[in-house]
Structure formats: structure tokens, C-alpha cells
Amino acid sequence: MIIRNLRKSYDEQVVLKGVSLAAGQGEMVAILGPSGSGKSVLLKCIALRERWDGGEFIYDDDDLLKQGWLAQLRYRSICAYLPPKEISLNPNKTALKNVLSGLLPTWRKLIGARTKREYMTAMDYLENVGLLDLAHRKVQTLSGGEKQRVAVAKALIQGADIIVADEPVIGLDPESAQLVLKDLRYMCDKHKATVLFTIPQIEWAEKYATRLIGLVDGQVIFDVSGRRLTTAEKMKL
């Protein structure tokens, strides 16, 4: 995807002042910046969960914003948006059933029908995120990090090529947080998913992301890949 000159305001407040960035398949992009710099708004715009005021959004060689609602709907179906804290799982169902529900059409969900192949596929995705042992546990009994990982497995089984995760490790202990980040990175490396996420811990962003984008006051102030941040870059955040 290529984003050019994305602008977004709320009433009088200009939040995104012409943001440009690119993210390819298999890239894990961390959006870093101080509180209020526009990171969440940027992610919502990228996930098309928020209207753009202006700019170009090139995906599959077309400008999505110039396409009709059908193209945008198609994009939304392959772009999973994981909002902070709020996990879209059914707490009373098992991890396996939650992941399976991403695979089955609604009418089959209602009658609970599933083939052996679908069951195996869901188990494979749970294994990918290291949760095979917990497949039959109700989601409400899982830790925050485990829930996030089930949500990642569900997003991927739904066919998401793009995962937009706003603070996916908020409130998690360091060990669980790093497991979630490892899973996201694995999805990039193995499934060639594109992941865009925000995270307050710069050192984890440096460790797991393939690209680091600094956003301050609605503007990109650096966009680096293949290296850690310099002290000068960190000071700007």
C-alpha cells in the first residue's frame, strides 16, 4: 500500500497534516509518536474505519478513495482492524470456536456445522500463535495476551492480508507482550501479511518491526528500516 498526503481534521483541529508512507507485503510497521500525535487516527484511516479528508490511497495499483464503495468494502474485508483493548471475541466460546467463526459463513455458525478440514485449519492457526494447548478453553479464562493472539489467529483465518493493530500489547506483562509481537512478526514472515501497529515501547518496536515511522503533530518525522533509531530520532518523539 502507498499513502500519499493523507489529511484528516476534526472540526477545527487538523490531526493528520499530509502523511505519506508505504508498506509492502511481509512488512511490520511500527508507528511511534507522543500522545495525541495522531497515531490512532492514522491507523483508523489506513483501515478505512475513518473517512479521509484528502490524499491518495494506492492499493493493488488503484486509488481506493477514487474507487466505489465495493472496492473499499473488499479492502475492509482483507484488512483486520484490532482496536486497543477491545477484543472482538466471544468470551463464552472456546478459542477454537472463536477462530472457527472467522472461517464459517453466518448460517453455518448458527447451526454449528463445521467440516473436519475447517477444524484442522483453525487448529493450525492456533498452533501458529502457540495456543494449541488452549484451543478448548473459554476465551474469558485466557489472559490478555492470549486473547490478543486468538484475535490475530482469527484475523488471519478470515483472510486478512493486512492487520492494523492499535496498541496490541497495552496492559500486558512483558512476556505476554513479546509473545503477541512475535506472533505478529511471524505472520509477516510466514504469511506475508502487512502489519501496522502502534506501541509505546520503542525498544520492542526496534526489536520486532521491520520499519519504524515517527509521527509528531500529525506529520511523519522519520521513516527508517533495517536499523535502530538514532538518539536524535528518539529525542524527537
- Give min distance, CB of 169 to ligand ATP, in A: 13
- Give min distance, CB of 31 to ligand ATP, in A: 8
Q: For the chain, what is the largest distance between any 2 Cα atoms, rounded to a whole number of angstroms?
A: 58
Binding positions for ligand ATP, rule: CB under 6 A:
10, 15, 33, 35-41
CA geometry: angle 11, 84, 34, nearest 5 deg: 60
- Give min distance, CB of 218 to ligand ATP, in A: 8
